[in-house]
Structure 1
Amino acid sequence: MTRSGGDEVLRFDLDGEERAISLKISQLTQRMVAGLPDRALDLLELAAHVYAVDSSVSRGGPALQKMGAQWHRRFHIDMAVRDLAFWQHADVSAALEELLAFLSGDKFTFTFGLRQHSDAERNRFFKFGNQSAWSADRVLMFSGGLDSYAGALEETVSQGLSVALVSHASSTKIERVQKDLLAALRAKLNPDLFRHVPVQMQMVGGVKEGTHRSRSFLFATLGAVTAFGFGQNRVSFHENGVVSLNLPPVGNVQGTRATRTTHPKSLLLMSQFLGLVFEKGMRVDNPFFWHTKKEVVEKVAQLEMVEQIRHTRSCADIHNQTKLHPHCGRCSQCVDRRFSVLAAGLETQDPKEAYAVDLLDGVRKSVVDKETALSYVRAAQQYVHATPDMLQQRYPEILQAVESFNEPAPTALSRIAGLLKRHGQSVISVMDHTLDHQAADAFPANSLPWMYGEEKRKAAFSAGADVPTISLQTSDQTYTIEFDDERQTATVADVVDIPKGANFNLLRELATEHLCAAGQGLDPLDYPTIAAVDLSDRLDLASDEALRQRVNRARNTLGRLLEEAGLNAEQGKELVENILGQGYRLNPTLVSVRIKSATR
Structure 2
Amino acid sequence: MRYVAGPSGFTPPAGTHGAQILLFGNQGAPRTVGHAIETHIRRACLDVHPQARDFLAIALAAITADQGTLRSDSSDGWTREIHLHVGVEDADIWSAASGLLSAALQFLTTDRWTFSFSQAEYANLPGGKSVAADSVALLSGGLDSLIGVHRLMEMGADPILVSHTVRGDKEKQSSFAAALAPDQTHIQLGHNAVTPGSTELSQRSRSLEFIALGVLFASARSPQIDGTKTPFWLCENGFIAVNPPLTPSRLGSLSTRTAHPTYLSLLNRLLAQIGLSIEIQNPHRFETKGEMLLSVASEPSMEAMAIQSTSCGRFLRNGYKHCGRCIPCQVRRGAFLRAGIADTTGYIYENLGIRDGHHAQWKDVRAVGLAVATASGSSVQRWGHPALAGLPVTEQPNLLGVVSRGLAELSQLHSSYGVS
What is the distance in 2 between the residues matched to 1:295 and 1:66? 42
Q: 1:356: Cα distance to partner?
A: 1.3
The superposition leaves residues 542-571 of structure 1 with CA deviations (integer Å, 9 ceiling, x where unpaired) of xxxxxxxxxxxxxxxxxxxxxxxxxxxxxx
Give the structure 2 partner of residue 148 of structure 1: 145
Which of 214, 230, 234 matches 2:205? Answer: 214
CA-based RMSD of the aligned residues comes to 3.3
Which of 188, 192, 209 matches 1:198? Answer: 188
What is the distance in 1 between the residues matched to 2:130 and 2:265? 32
AA aligned to 1:341 is: F
Flag the 1:355–1:108 CA change in 2: closer, same or farther, 3 A.
same
What is the distance in 2 between the residues matched to 1:10 and 1:150? 43
What is the distance in 2 between the residues matched to 1:30 and 1:416? 42
Higher relative contact order (CA 8 A, sep 6+): 2
AA aligned to 1:299 is: S
Given the alignment of the two structures, is residue 399 of structure 1 paired with residue 389 of structure 2, yes or no? yes
Quick check: which one's helix share is greater? 1
What is the distance in 2 between the residues matched to 1:110 and 1:228? 24
Q: Where does 1:571-582 land on structure 2 (aligned, <5 Å)?
A: none
Question: Is 1:11–1:18's contact at 8 Å kept on the other side of the alignment?
Answer: no
AA aligned to 1:285 is: Q
User: Which SS does the other structure have where 1:268 is aligned?
Assistant: helix
Give the structure 2 partner of residue 418 of structure 1: 401
Give the structure 2 partner of residue 588 of structure 1: none
Q: TM-score, normalised by structure 1?
A: 0.59
What is the distance in 1 between the residues matched to 2:359 and 2:135? 44
Which structure has the greater CA radius of gyration? 1
Q: Which runs of 5+ in 1 are unaligned?
A: 1-6, 435-447, 453-600
Which of 342, 351, 362 matches 2:344? Answer: 351
What is the distance in 2 between the residues matched to 1:114 and 1:329? 48
AA aligned to 1:182 is: A
Q: Percent identity?
A: 25
Q: Which runs of 5+ in 2 are unaligned?
A: 1-6, 21-28
Given the alignment of the two structures, is residue 339 of structure 1 paired with residue 329 of structure 2, yes or no? no
Q: 1:258: Cα distance to partner?
A: 1.8
Question: Is 2:87–2:120's contact at 8 Å kept on the other side of the alignment?
Answer: yes
Give the structure 1 partner of residue 31 of structure 2: 19
Which of 283, 294, 300 matches 1:298? Answer: 294
Give the structure 2 partner of residue 116 of structure 1: 121
Which of 292, 310, 314 matches 1:313? Answer: 310
Give the structure 1 partner of residue 275 of structure 2: 278
The superposition leaves residues 530-589 of structure 1 with CA deviations (integer Å, 9 ceiling, x where unpaired) of xxxxxxxxxxxxxxxxxxxxxxxxxxxxxxxxxxxxxxxxxxxxxxxxxxxxxxxxxxxx
Of 299-308 and 258-267, deviating more is: 299-308
Question: Is 2:330–2:413's contact at 8 Å kept on the other side of the alignment?
Answer: no
AA aligned to 2:282 is: N
The superposition leaves residues 344-381 of structure 1 with CA deviations (integer Å, 9 ceiling, x where unpaired) of 2101xx216x1111144666534896231132133234
What is the distance in 2 between the residues matched to 1:8 and 1:337? 44
Q: 1:199: Cα distance to partner?
A: 1.1
Which of 66, 87, 92 matches 1:80? Answer: 87
The superposition leaves residues 209-232 of structure 1 with CA deviations (integer Å, 9 ceiling, x where unpaired) of 111111111111111111111146
Q: 1:98: Cα distance to partner?
A: 1.5
The superposition leaves residues 281-310 of structure 1 with CA deviations (integer Å, 9 ceiling, x where unpaired) of 321121111011110111222555222211
Give the structure 2 partner of residue 374 of structure 1: 366
Flag the 1:322–1:47 CA change in 2: closer, same or farther, 3 A.
closer
Q: Where does 1:121-520 land on structure 2 (aligned, <5 Å)?
A: 122=125, 135-157=132-154, 159-171=155-167, 173-185=168-180, 191-192=182-183, 194-205=184-195, 208-230=199-221, 231=224, 233-250=230-247, 252-279=249-276, 281-302=277-298, 305-321=302-318, 326-347=321-342, 350-351=343-344, 354-360=346-352, 364-366=356-358, 370-383=362-375, 390-391=382-383, 396-400=386-390, 403=391, 405=392, 409=393, 411-432=394-415, 434=416, 449=418, 451-452=419-420
What is the distance in 2 between the residues matched to 1:9 and 1:175? 33
Q: 1:254: Cα distance to partner?
A: 3.4
User: Which SS does the other structure have where 2:71 is aligned?
Assistant: coil
Give the structure 2 partner of residue 541 of structure 1: none
User: Which SS does the other structure have where 2:209 is aligned?
Assistant: helix
AA aligned to 1:164 is: I
Flag the 1:9–1:59 CA change in 2: closer, same or farther, 3 A.
farther
